[in-house]
Amino acid sequence: MNTLRTTVLLASLTALLLIAGKALGGNGGMVVALVLAMVMNFGSYWFSDKLVLRMYRAQPVGPGTAPELYSIVEDLARRAQMPMPAVYIVESDTPNAFATGRNPEHAAVAATTGLLRIMNREELIGVLAHELSHVRHRDTLVSAIAATLAGAITMLANMAQWMLLFGGLRGNDNEQGGGGVFGALVMMILAPLAAMLIQMAVSRSREFGADQGGAELTGNPLWLASALRKLEQANQRAPMQTAANHPATAHLFIVNPLSGLRLARLFTTHPSTEERIRRLEAMARG
């Protein structure tokens, strides 16, 4: 059911992109939007992991430089019968973690220094199992594609804004199937908002699945539930500054790194932490 829902949401994003292109430039604009989506998805498939890791200045570590972190990831990967991902540390006092990569063979797991400082071993295992579950189910690729499509829609909206400012849109383009000035105005306002809502829905549906998968991998859902409580409180107190500079990456983290910012609460990329904890506790009772 989760896979079907995600497929529908990604298809909705693609359709929204084509509609935005048509509103901006008629049939020709729709073709441009389709080509733009294909190019950006190609880039996100091959390079999204490298871009994100560089964005957060993540440093690779091994058994000699971060023995506990590396050994936990190694043990979880063995249990999950998946390839060992690359392991990174991000220098940040805000505790958090994320996974990236196009498939399990080309995956990376990153933890902040703040996470390593405040978590006990069981909680750290719960967090890393959650991230490996994302890799195992290829959520990292789905998230990258969703972010790319949403970014393309926003780019078209920005193009429409500049075209209106400099007179690039004239009256009405009904003969080409476009909406002219009116269509561009509607697209500028509604398309980015709709793209953001769909992207959030993709991210939220995947988080519940990763919680469940991580809990099953460790055998104790309460480890992750305890970690989520600490993470929520810490990120409310001190949002991650780097994530604030790159808000399109917020959905990658195990909890929203911007949850302490008032505006971010209106468009959160994650389901309620209380609901996630409630489900994990129900798993433990079951």
Residues marked as catalytic: 131
Residue 130 assigned to a binding site: yes
Establish whether 175 is an annotated binding residue: no
Q: For residue 86, which phi and psi values (nearest 5 degrees)?
A: -70, 145
Distance, in Å, from the CA atom of 152 to the CA atom of 20, rounded to the nearest integer, reads 10
The residues, any chain, with a CB within 8 Å of residue 132's CB and separated by 6 or more, are 73, 76, 77, 80, 82, 85, 99, 109, 214, 217
CA-CA distance, 194 to 13, in Å (whole number)? 8
Q: Is 137 annotated as a binding residue?
A: no
Of 147, 247, 153, nearest to 193 (Cα)? 153
> Can you say which residues are annotated as belonging to the binding site?
130, 134, 207
> Can you say which residues are annotated as belonging to the binding site for Zn(2+)?
130, 134, 207
